[in-house]
Structure 1
Amino acid sequence: MNRIKHIYACFHAHKQWFFMLMLTNLLFIFFAWLAYPETFNVLVSLMVVFTLAMISVSVFLIIRKERRIEAAFEDFLLEPNEANEEMLCRVSPKTHWSFIRRIGNVLRSHQEERNQQVLELADYENYIEGWVHEMKKPLSLMTLVLDNRSDEMSPLVRQRMLHVRDQIRGDVERILYYARLGAAHKDYLFESIPILAFCKRTIVDYQTLLDESGFQIQFKGEEMEILSDRKGLAFIIEQVIANSTKHVTLNQDDPLITFETMYDENRDQTILHIRDNGPGVSGEDLPFIFDKGFTGGRGAYTRQATGMGLFLVSKMADDLAIQLEATSEPGSGLTLSLKFPNVKT
């Protein structure tokens, strides 16, 4: 089928020449009828056979040349250096050389700009990662001081310092994960994890943020085993908790985050629902909450909303093969559902 399409395309591309050839044959057939009527049939038969043979040879040569041009053009697009440019000119009609050379100059210019941008981006990523690791040093020192010098400060001051430390640590982790989004190699280690127990251990690191916002934690459902990466899953849970604490309202009574597990037999999935009782998300904003930089209506009453937390959550969920869904109505809170596929080991 491809060969037939190629032959048809060849006829269509050179139809004017084949049409002129047919007209020329008709003219010579007419002359043969006038000059040699007694041998007219023989002459016409020979002329038709010769014409068909010439057309076949021409189509074969045209298709072979087009394949050579196509191969040279693909090499030129992949690597538009001067050698590939000369090779493409060599197999192409001379009338196309000026266009090929102009295209080559433009492609090489864009390639140089892209290579420069890649180098600048790599330097930027290295700087960000280095800065993040440098920030961890004062955070560790702050933790050491808060643990060993707690008797020298009032409980309220210590609580506020822990709150600030955890906020900075969360911001640093977000920067680090964002910088690693485009990494070619990611060191994920998938293992069996009891999901509710894991959530309880993860919450401990964010207890000061929860206490500062007055949140209570509730667990529902049975303990279930899922297969995932501990660091990546902890990052998802931490960002969901941080998102809930950022969007608590001043007049909200008894803020609550609920972790609930369930099993969907129809889809063979273990589901973890993380639900808060905050202001919720409007219907027009809900489809976009995982978009980069989107704050929606929530951004109108909190300066802490950046639109990056749930964006990073969605990217990490994609890496860990976790299906992520969000449901909400204004005034009824936000529910994020993490659906883990059951993997048989």
Structure 2
Amino acid sequence: MSFWKYVKDRFLLILAWLLSLIMSLIVVHFDIQIGARVLRNSSLVYVFVLGVFIIGVGIIYDYLRQREWYKEINYARMHENDNEFSLCLQNPVSEEQKVMYQLMQRQYSAFMDQIMLMRQQREQHVHFTNQWVHHMKTPVSVLHLITQQPAQRMDEEEARALLANVSEETDRLAGGLELMLHTARLDKFELDLHVSQVSTHQNIRQVINQHKKMFIRYRIFPKVVGEDRLVESDSKWLSFIVTQLVTNAIKYSKDKEGSKSLSFEVEENDDTVWLHVIDEGIGIAAHDIPRVFEPFFTGENGRKEGDATGMGLYLVKQVCNRLGHRIQITSEIGIGTKVSIGFESRTIHKGFF
């Protein structure tokens, strides 16, 4: 607040003081005019009473002008639990009160935005949990049915097929549990972060080894193209990103006839290291691509597949944002999908600071 606004707030009191001073000088002047060598007692009393009266009138008027504001402050103090009222005081009069009112309005808006965000996050978490439980019931039911089959009537081929089904359903359970675990960790991302130099090839091969049974089962052949690069990232969260991309690639490639490839291409361009994950799956419709990173969005493929949660790519996007990595996606129906992750060391912390 500027000096002149400060003076403006106290103009009435300053004016009352000046009037009191002027009246005192007038009384002194009259006493001098009548030849008095000293001020008479009556004049001193008159000056004192007049000064108190003028300043008192100024103070009372200033109080009445701001009374509504003070009433609201007192009400807010007596109702401490009514945060909405406390943050929305009305009727500011002075410049100080107007500034305070503006700050309170901003604080109130930020407060309400935070509440809305927390509500949305809670609703999103509840919705995701419900979906997750629903999808986990399917592999559990399948495993239950498998265990009910009489083992003594099975030949070797049937037993092998049974074990393959068990392996597939346990993989689905493990993937679902991993997704739920990382969803919970995302709320406290900074507490679970360890930034280091991560080898792209080592990270890719680790994920490939974790999914080698599924690659063999669905005749998908992974290959790594390009030279190894060290990138600034968190190895565990980067593995989660690549795992989600691989899971999606397998899910939407397995039903295509014949053998398919899944390529991991590493390249460096303009100080940015790019990791491209390219599948030969069914592809994503052009009108679905702008929404693939939205929570719970499954698109046409998800509705056909039936077991999509719509959270995989959303979580990938959230993790990339927090790590400061870029992510892009292109796709063509019947040809496949390409997801690109861009690593820039100078942006590693921008997502959470």
Q: TM-score, normalised by structure 1?
A: 0.58
Q: What is the CA–CA distance in structure 2 between the aligned matches of 1:332 and 1:323, rounded to whole Å?
A: 24
Matched with 1:283 is: 286
Provide Cα deviations, 1:159-194, integer angstroms capped at 9, x if missing partner: 433322222111101111222332375311111111
- Corresponding position of 2:307: 304
Distance 2:326 2:342 in 1: 5
In the aligned structure 1, how far is the partner of 2:73 from the partner of 2:273? 50
The residue correspondences of 1:1-345 to structure 2 (distance < 5 A) are 80=81, 155-183=160-188, 186-248=191-253, 250-265=255-270, 268-343=271-346
SS of alignment partner, residue 191 of structure 2: coil
Q: Structure 1: how far apart are the matches of 2:181 and 2:296?
A: 17
Partner Cα separation in structure 2 for residue 332 and residue 252 of structure 1: 13
* Partners of 1:3 and 1:238 in 2: CA distance: 62
Shift of the alpha carbon at 1:261?
0.6
Return closer, same or farther for 1:70/1:272 CA change in 2, 3 Å cut-off.
farther
Q: Structure 1: how far apart are the matches of 2:246 and 2:278?
A: 10
Q: How many angstroms apart in 2 are the aligned matches of 1:242 and 1:171?
A: 11
Deviations 1:209-264 (A, max 9, x none): 22222211011111000121121111111111111111126344322211001112
Distance in 2 between the 1:201 and 1:221 partners? Answer: 17
C-alpha contact (below 8 Å) 2:325/2:347 kept by paired residues = no
Contact 1:271–1:338 at 8 Å: present in 2 too? yes
Distance 1:189 1:253, change over 3 A: same
| Residues 249, 185 of structure 1: alpha-carbon distance in 2 compared, 3 angstrom cutoff | closer
Measure, in 1, the Cα distance between the counterparts of 2:257 and 2:68: 72
Using the alignment, how far apart are the partners of 1:228 and 1:184 within structure 2?
13
The Cα shift of 1:302 comes to 1.1
Count of aligned positions:
250
Cα deviation, residue 81, structure 1: 5.1
Structure 2 residues without counterparts, runs of 5 or longer: 10-54, 94-107, 144-155, 349-353
How far the C-alpha of 1:6 sits from its partner, in A, is 9.6
Measured in 2, the distance between the counterparts of 1:62 and 1:261 equals 74
Over the matched positions of the two proteins, sequence identity in percent amounts to 24
Q: Do the aligned residues in 2 keep the contact of 1:270 with 1:342 (CA within 8 Å)?
A: no
In structure 1, distance between residues paired with 2:182 and 2:74: 42
RMSD: 4.8
Larger Rg: 2
